[in-house]
Every structure is written in structure tokens, then in C-alpha cells.
Amino acid sequence: METIRKGSKGLIVGTWQEFLKNLDLYLYKIDNDFGNLTHNATVKFQSINGLVADGIVGKNTWGKAYELGIITTDELEQPVIPEDFNLVIKEAHMPKSEYRTTSEKKDWVFIHHTAGWNNPFKTIRNWANDSRGQIATEFCIGGQKIDTGDIEYDGVVAQAFPEGGYGWHLGIGNNIMHRASVGIEVNNFGFLTEGGYYKRINGVKTWIKKTPGKFYTYVGLKLQEIK
């Protein structure tokens, strides 16, 4: 079982918070963030049940929860969604000529990354206006602007075409994998390199030296450090 503690985040934390809330030990919203309030509630639970009261939810603490019959493996497989969670998908549909339609059942999800900027709407506009044909994913998720830390589009989900549509996102060509899958594009700059970046000069891959200890994208943008 995964060990969680102060500083942990994620759905497993939300499940633990829900468990504590059912015991009236945690009286706050489920936010999937193991902060001071969750830590204090965990310590109370451990103290009441004769456990080491360190605020760390490990094997023994999970085991006591199972023993009490208040939490089960099924609950961990169906984690609690935050109370204030609200997924908003914004339509940014391309012209009909830029995607296809299908009645195929969607059996797969493929996640890609766009080696580009942070704006999902700009990415979709580029797909609509390029000359490569019907290449796109149904959803595109915005990110942070890597050189300034701008978070305007961070986590924004845009839909490139309506449900039932599809684009070529696994290579060019119309096949079952395209028709029966949902593509999700994540806006980012891909890998980072420390102290510089590689650039092709006259066809030769050349190392461009920059500031030691700093990280750069493949186009030479320095990663903005957010503290």
C-alpha cells in the first residue's frame, strides 16, 4: 500500500481524508492535499488506536483502517474526487474538413505532448491551418509558459472536434486505432537539458552552451524557476 504523509498529494490522499471525515476526525473539505489539518487528524487517529502517532499513513495505519472495516480495497480503487472539482471543457472545434467522424466505440486513450507553447487554442488553430490533413487529437490541455511562468492556460482543456469525431494522431493514415481511440495532447516543451541545448547547424547536431545549472528547452528557452 502506498505510504502517504504531510506534503503528499493525489486521489489516495482524498480517500484517506474521506476516511478520517467519516470518523469525525477531519472536518474540512476533501482536497487531495495532505497538509497540516490532515496530518493532525492522522495523528489523532493513530493515538486513539495505539499506533505510532507520527502522522505517516503506512502499512500499520492502513491496516488498522481495514481492521476497523471502515475502508476497503474497493474504496482505494475508486478514489474520492475533490468536493470542489469541476472539469470544464471548452469547445474550439476546427472546420469539419479538418477531422473525420466515426461510430466506432472508443477503446483506447493515447496521451501525446506538443513540443510547443502553452496555449491549447493556438495549438488547435495550428492543426486547423496546417497542410498535413486531418491531424489532431480530440482534447488539448494547456500548460505553463515555460519562459515566464504564465499560468493563464495551465490545465485548460480545449476540444478540437465534437464527440464522435477523430483525427490522425498515431501517424498519418486511416486505421482502427485512430477511429477507436481518444487522443489527448498536453502542451509542453518536452525534455529539458541542463546548461544548454542542442541545435542543428548546417545539418549537424551542435551543443549550444548556456548558463551552468539552468535548464533549457529544445529551442533554447530557459526554464522559469517558480518558488
HEC-encoded secondary structure of 183-213: EEEEEECCCCEECEEEEEECCEEEEEECCCC
What is the grid cell recorded at 88? Answer: 470544464
Whether residue 6 is contained in a domain is answered as: no
d(CA 132, CA 130): 6
pLDDT in tens, 56-109: 998 899 888 888 776 655 555 555 556 566 778 999 999 999 999 998 888 999
163 and 114 housed in the same domain:
yes
Task: Give mean pLDDT, residues 178-185.
Answer: 92
User: How many whole angstroms separate alpha carbon 73 and alpha carbon 154?
Assistant: 33
In this prediction, residue 75 carries a pLDDT of: 52
**180 and 138 together in one domain:** yes
Same domain, 178 and 97: yes
All three cell numbers of 178, joined, read: 485512430
pTM: 0.57
Q: Are residues 199 and 173 in the same domain?
A: no
Residue 16 reports pLDDT greater than 70: yes
73 Cβ contact list (under 8 Å, min separation 6): none
Which pLDDT score is estimated for 18?
87
Compute the mean pLDDT over every residue in the chain, rounded to the nearest whole number.
86
Per-residue model confidence (pLDDT) at position 1: 64
* Domain annotation covers residue 82: no
Identity (one letter) of the amino acid at 144? Q
Give me the domain span that covers residue 61: 11-77
Domain membership of residue 217 (yes or no) is yes
Checking if the pLDDT of 41 tops 80, the result is yes
Give the tens place of pLDDT for each residue, 105-161.
889 999 988 766 889 999 999 999 998 889 899 999 998 877 777 888 988 999 999
With respect to residue 5, please indicate whether it lies within any of the assigned structural domains: no
Give me the pLDDT at residue 177, please: 87
**175 and 213, same domain (yes or no):** no
Residue 226: pLDDT band (50, 70, 90) is: low
Residues 30 and 101 reside in one and the same domain: no
Q: To the nearest whole percent, how much of the chain has pLDDT over 70?
A: 89
Same structural domain for residues 62 and 132? no
Q: Is the pLDDT of residue 14 over 90?
A: no
The DSSP element (H or E) to which 77 belongs, if any, is: helix 73-77
Q: Are residues 112 and 159 in the same domain?
A: yes
130 in a domain, yes or no?
Answer: yes
* Average confidence (pLDDT) over 171-188: 85
Per-residue confidence (pLDDT) for residue 117, from 0 to 100: 80
Are 196 and 179 members of one domain?
no
The stretch 189-205 carries a mean pLDDT of 88
155 lies in a domain?
Answer: yes
Number of structural domains found in the chain: 3
